[in-house]
Amino acid sequence: MPIPNGFRKKEELNNKETKYELACYFCEKCGLVQLTVVVNPEIMFKDYVYIPSTSKVMMNNFSSLVHEAFIEKGLGEKSMVIDIGSNDGSLLTFFKTYDCKVLGIDPAENIAKLAELNGVPTETVLFDSSSAKKIKKKYGQADVITATNVIAHIDNLYEMFKGVDVLLKKDGIFITEFPYLADLVDKLEFDTIYHEHLSYFSLKAWKYMVEKCGFEICGLRRLQIHGGSIRFIHRRKSSKRNPAKKTIEYFLNFEEQKKLNKKETYDLFSQKVASLKNELTELINSLKKDGNRIIGYGAAAKGNVLTNFLNIGKDKLDFIVDSTPYKQGLFTPGMNIPVYAENRLQKEVPDYVLILAWNFANEIMEKQESYRARGGRFIIPLPEVKII
């Protein structure tokens, strides 16, 4: 597979594209699922196209995280909040409404500029213990450190925790969220497996890691975002009673029952993905045979995995619409499908829209209610192929 956010300009289309292995290992000891190959992060993240702020659902999720931090820690003008993988500064903007001092850390130079424009100071570096030390010198330590949808991007998690240890005040909290392995497996979310995501965590694997690094989970909850995620609150390990003890036990038991820590679960997963692939391929082929026009919605990284895996090219999808200005005018990696602004859907009224950003299917269908009212149909690819 090419890297999933490796969109290309028209003049680059004849250049050879680098492809990298995309496969997972499963650790029978700690339950971690991880990629076999690590692509250099500089290649993937320096000039980045993904921003979270195009989705209302994402913004609501950020708002709920900040509220949770407020309840856990209390926030005010004396609080310092640091966000790892701060992207366009959206999450920190919500912390600013509580008058907190904020700092973003993100290696994407193009997107950090956007954050600065949003009033969020940003250090453009990859996060590790040595960048953490420099940041501590310049800005001091944080009461709250956040890291949403970025932990899976980091290869050396021990280094990451060392960095958090450097930057976090003694009684500070570290909040993170990422897609939950139980949802990935349950809902056949194979397309969220790609080079940016090096690890896929169960609670069991995450807890093992957290405790090895001198921290403990003191809060957790499941979220609907991104097809099912999990949010953790951590503090340094202490002898104080852990308020999350019961919830942790409950989830460990849930994972046991789901056989999330057994290899057979992943064999079955791969078989189910293969049949989903057949079903969706057959549907698209038969719709095309009947002369239908199909377009894609959401040039998501996961969409690029899906189209490459199913070999869905321009002969099947005329184009993809996407709300991200940085993606519009470019072509998708591997399949070279053009990406346009969302209003192109209303102009061209295709027969079917394949929702590649299926995690935002409801938000997208609500937004495009008038297309539906004109007889337009949406295809949702997973967990089972559905036409709406």
Q: Which of 79/328 has CB closer to ligand JHZ? A: 328
Least separation, in Å, of the C-beta of 303 and ligand JHZ?
7
Residue showing tokens 């869905």 = 312
The stretch near ligand JHZ (CB under 6 A) out of 72-80, 113-121, 293-301, 309-317 is 293-301
3-state SS, residue 284: helix
Window 121 to 180, contacts with ligand JHZ (CB under 6 A): 149
Q: How many CB atoms lie within 10 A of CB 359?
A: 25
Distances in Å between the Cα of 332 and the Cα atoms of 97, 111, 198, 325, 327 are 37, 19, 21, 14, 9
Q: Helix or strand or coil: residue 99?
A: coil
Is the Cβ–Cβ distance between 242 and 162 less than 8 Å? no
Q: Which is nearer to ligand JHZ, 251 or 326 (CB)?
A: 326
Tokens of 65: 């995280």
Interface mask toward ligand JHZ for 354-383; x: CB under 6 A: ---x-xx--xx--x----------------
Establish whether the linkage from the previous residue to 243 is cis, with ω within 30° of 0. no
Instruction: Please report how close the Cβ of residue 324 comes to ligand JHZ at its closest, in angstroms.
Output: 5
CA pair distance 207, 213, nearest whole angstrom: 10
Q: Is 52 helix (H, G, I), strand (E, B) or coil?
A: helix
Nearer to ligand JHZ, 73 or 358 (CB): 358
C-alpha pair distances (Å), 119 with each of 66, 128, 171, 259? 18, 24, 27, 46
CB of 95 to ligand JHZ, least distance (A): 19
Contact pick of 323, 333, 365, 382 for ligand JHZ (by CB under 6 A): 323
Among 24, 31, 32, 55, binds ligand JHZ (CB under 6 A): 55
Q: Which of 1, 108, 145, 300 binds ligand JHZ (CB under 6 A)?
A: 300
DSSP SS3 for 24: strand
Cα 215 from Cα 220, distance rounded (Å) = 14
Residue 82: φ, ψ to 5°: -120, 130
Closest by CA to 234, choosing from 174, 278, 189, 192, is 174
User: By CB under 6 A, which span of 30-38, 139-147, 328-336, 352-360 interacts with ligand JHZ?
Assistant: 352-360
Q: Which is nearer to ligand JHZ, 230 or 364 (CB)?
A: 364
Which CB atom, from 156 or from 238, has the smaller least distance to ligand JHZ?
156
Shortest spacing between CB 55 and ligand JHZ, in angstroms: 4
Binding-site string for ligand JHZ from residue 14 to residue 53, where x marks contact by CB under 6 A and - marks none: ------------------------------------x---
* In the complex, minimum distance from the CB of residue 256 to ligand JHZ, in angstroms, rounded to a whole number: 27
Please state the closest distance from residue 341 (CB atom) to ligand JHZ, in A: 9
Q: Which is nearer to ligand JHZ, 84 or 357 (CB)?
A: 357
- Maximum C-alpha span of the chain: 67
User: What sections of the chain are H helices per DSSP?
Assistant: 41-45, 56-73, 90-96, 109-117, 129-139, 157-167, 181-186, 203-212, 245-257, 263-289, 301-310, 343-348, 361-367, 369-373
Q: Is 83 in the site for ligand JHZ (CB under 6 A)?
A: no
Residue of minimal Cβ distance to ligand JHZ: 298
Residues that contact ligand JHZ, how many (by CB under 6 A): 22
Q: Pick from 101, 195, 207, 226 the residue near ligand JHZ by CB under 6 A.
A: 226
Which of residues 324, 331, 334, 365 is near ligand JHZ by CB under 6 A? 324
For ligand JHZ, give the closer residue by CB, 367 or 377. Answer: 367
- CB of residue 245 to ligand JHZ, shortest distance in Å: 29
Binding residues for ligand JHZ restricted to 181-210, rule: CB under 6 A = 196
Radius of gyration of the CA atoms of the chain, in A: 21
Residue 351 is classified by DSSP as S
Q: How many CA atoms lie within 13 A of 344 on its CB side?
A: 19
Least Å distance between CB 118 and ligand JHZ? 18
Who contacts 311 (Cβ-Cβ below 8 Å, separation ≥6)? 281
Q: Which parts of this chain interact with ligand JHZ (CB under 6 A)? A: 50, 54-55, 149, 196, 226, 298-302, 322-324, 327, 342, 357, 359-360, 363-364, 367
